[in-house]
Chain A
Amino acid sequence: MSVRFREAWSEFWVSGVSKLGVAFLIALSAISIYVLASYPLDFGLRFWNNPPVWSDNPRAVPPVWTSSFVGESLVEHKTFLATEPANVTESVESRTLTYEFSIDYGYDDFPSFTSFSVSNATFYSRAPQFTLVFERPDNATLNLLREVAPAKRSEEEPPVTRWTAPPRRVYLTGDDRVASAISSFLARNFKLKLSRDQIINMHPEVPLFGLPEGENKTLSWKVLKGVYRIRVEAQLFDPRDTVGEIKYVLGGSVFGAMGTDSLGRDLAVGLLFGFPVALFIGFVTSTLTTVIGAAGGVASGYLGGKVDLLIQRAADLVYNVPLLPILIFFTFAVGHGLWVIVVVLVAFGWPGLAIIVRSMVLQVRESQFIEAARSLGASRRWIMFRHVFPQVAPFVFSQLIFYTPSAILSEAALSFLGLGDPSIPTWGQILQLGFQNGGVYVGWWWWIVPPGLLIVVTAVTFVFLALGMEPVVNPRLRRMR
């Protein structure tokens, strides 16, 4: 037996194609193992479908490394956190904690958004106030907004903590107060008349981080480079009051290794998660389908009689039942889940293989070497495994391997129809979301190309493996030595 395996391996290893296939497979598996080892198994729920995780990411921006191609210096995404104030000033009735962030802004582009968050404001009597002050390199200063924590209600006992989970987050880019502040600032400093709505439409970051040029119709904005200081002044009214964390997010025009989707999710993370999921779906679905289909075909073809009838009718049933309504029903009854997809794909996939295998087996059954095996005293099971199956093995193996990428794509199609498992990121889903959000038309290549490429690479890996397997499984194709 071991001799046969060694012989089979050396036969497999001969062609360059197999080596490539194995290399790819090792890479895919290694990445998958890394993902499974370093992320918890519920990463879908924890990271992908959990808004707080990505709420501060820029939306639909390309990866960081595109800066080098574009030539411009694109805005890096930065998150500023402070738990300790830079400065504390006391007065009679209150204490003011000043938190400071400074940004050395040298980019050629405007930030995609900005936001500001406060968490864990604890107070005993009067609720704290937060003022956001924005200081530009040209020494202009704006008070962007004032935020007050909700007051203590009568039934609450001090100390009261507000904004724990979730923290209080202000999306400055869409905030009316910020827009008003900017409008006044522009009128005052640049004699520019722009309404609040106009400012929100053009993104408040543009006037905040830029200098106007021209007038009215020819109005354009140039980036103001230099050091920006953002101060958050927290006014607390009781010596025991505390503030948890202050965060200021400068939304980049690029983010991460693979960019973000329209929800701001880090695509690198999503695509990474997709590796083990893809391999799992591919392997499990195609293996189960192939095993059940081949077994059914061999039993049906060789044993004939009632077994044959049963399996054929089952196959007929599956063929005649429409896939989609059943799928919708199952999803409704059992819920969305990866296993549901796998089970349904397998249930609808096995008859195709079984029918073809059956007709191959019917031919093989008449061969003289089968008759010879019977006269040797072989049982039916022995003959089916040792003599019949190897005849259909080449075909079955190639089906196993070709079905893998097709299973991955089927899953994507199902996800497209809303029948997938939204809690787990798959390449198919990412791809589909990209299309759905118009990514192709708007040019969000980082969202569309990588998942598609990964699906192709996975498919090609299995094609290479199938090609490499052929001479092993079909001795007639072996090179004559």
Chain B
Amino acid sequence: MSALIELKDTKMVFKVRKGWFSTLDLRAVDGVSLSIGRGNTTGIVGESGSGKTTLGRVSLRLLEPTAGKVLFDGKDITEVKESNLKWFRRKAQGIFQDPYSSLNPYMTVERILEEPLVLHEIGSDREREELISKALTDVKLTPTEEFAGKYPHMLSGGQRQRVGVARSLILNPEYIVADEPVSMIDASSRVEVLSLLRGLQEKYRIGFMYITHDIATSKYFSERIAVMYLGRIVEFAEARTVIAEPLHPYTQALIAAVPDPDPSNRLHDRSVVPGEPPNPINVPSGCRFHPRCPRFMKNKCEIKEPVLREVKRVHQVACYLYD
């Protein structure tokens, strides 16, 4: 059985204007291979400039990759024209980050949820009402009649985000890309939304790509985690493993940077990776992380890029420490 979604060595390069006539290459995604199965979640963890959002959009074919392939359910959708992708749009949906701008402020909740049904010509008016009601119940926005008539500005951030989830569900998709769905919600409410997603995943066997910079929530809502840095995957393993035994220095740094509630935290500094997340226009030579890496090996790391390979069972990493 083929994977639900498969990315084969995909690259996404943007051209950025510099001066009057020249352009620079912005290598947002620089060779990523990944597959997600039905009913599974793969977490994509990275900071700004890692290319994770771009990866999500490529997998939804909101962008056409500059190289590589995107396969959905075995079918190659890399170069298919937008007008022939309607069947795919029905099966693959997105949940977006900003609850304040991902809903059209002039549409009621009902109209927002009705739109996908109208676009894909699903159901009569009556049936649509039922589907909308069901979607709202699924995301626990009840009583549904009350919420259906509200405008986005009448809802809290968390409630808006749940409307966004409902919208992504209403077409019964098989694949959902959730791009930072909880980053703009209070820490204490994040689990609520994520557990909602988990329940829906189990109920409907949806495959998720969960994009986040917060590795802690990724632990809660992913079976496997891929850590991205500057357009490439640097570590990939089961969620538990990545967090309990991180191999790549960047992954280790990411984990060290996240606090758990612990009264002793304030007494010592956190170990941090120096410098800033770099700009994907200026990709360092060799291993992309080498300028900031505490375990940098001269004459090795800066020459040639390490390959992502399996060093333990189901645990891949791209680092010369493990060669």
Contact = CB atoms under 8 A, between A and B. Distances in A.
A and B are partners in one complex rather than unrelated chains: yes
Interface of A: 367-369, 371-379, 382, 386-387, 390-391, 393, 475-476
A54 B129 CA distance: 68
A368 B83 CA distance: 21
Given A378-B115, A475-B105, 16 more contacts: A367-B102, A369-B102, A369-B104, A371-B94, A372-B96, A372-B102, A372-B103, A373-B115, A375-B60, A375-B92, A376-B167, A377-B86, A377-B116, A377-B120, A378-B119, A393-B106
A371 B116 contact: no
A376 B116 contact: yes
A361 B164 CA distance: 23
Residue of B86, B93, B104, B105 ringed by the most chain A CB atoms within 10 A:
B104
A376 B96 CA distance: 12
A390 B104 contact: yes
B126 to A, nearest CB: 14
Nearest to A374: B62
A357 to B, nearest CB: 16
Interface string B99-110: 001111111000
Contact of A390 (B93, B94, B106, B115): B106
A369 B107 CA distance: 11
Interface in B71-108: 83, 85-86, 89-90, 92-94, 96-98, 101-107
Nearest to A388: B104
B151 interface: yes
Contacts of A393: 106
Given A369-B101, A372-B164, A375-B60, A391 B106 contact: yes
Interface of B: 60, 62, 83, 85-86, 89-90, 92-94, 96-98, 101-107, 115-116, 119-120, 151, 153, 164, 167, 171
A114 to B, nearest CB: 69
Nearest to A373: B115
- 9 tightest CB-CB pairs across the interface, nearest first? A377-B89, A368-B102, A375-B94, A390-B106, A368-B96, A369-B104, A368-B101, A376-B116, A475-B151
Nearest to A474: B106
B104 A375 contact: no
A376 B119 contact: yes
Nearest to A389: B106
Nearest to B100: A368
A134 B62 CA distance: 97
B89 A376 contact: yes
B119 A377 contact: yes
A23 B103 CA distance: 37
Given A391-B106, A475-B106, A475-B151, A376 B115 contact: yes
Contacts of B86: 377
A374 B115 CA distance: 12
Contacts of B89: 375-377
A187 to B, nearest CB: 88
A377 B171 CA distance: 11
Contacts of B167: 372, 376
Contacts of B104: 369, 373, 387, 390
Nearest to B86: A377
A475 B108 CA distance: 10
8 contacts: A375-B60, A375-B89, A375-B93, A376-B89, A377-B85, A377-B119, A386-B115, A475-B105
Contacts of B102: 367-369, 371-372
Residue of B85, B93, B98, B105 ringed by the most chain A CB atoms within 10 A:
B105
Given A377-B86, A475-B151, A476-B153, A372 B120 contact: no
Contact of B96 (A371, A379, A386): A371
A382 B82 CA distance: 14
B229 to A, nearest CB: 25
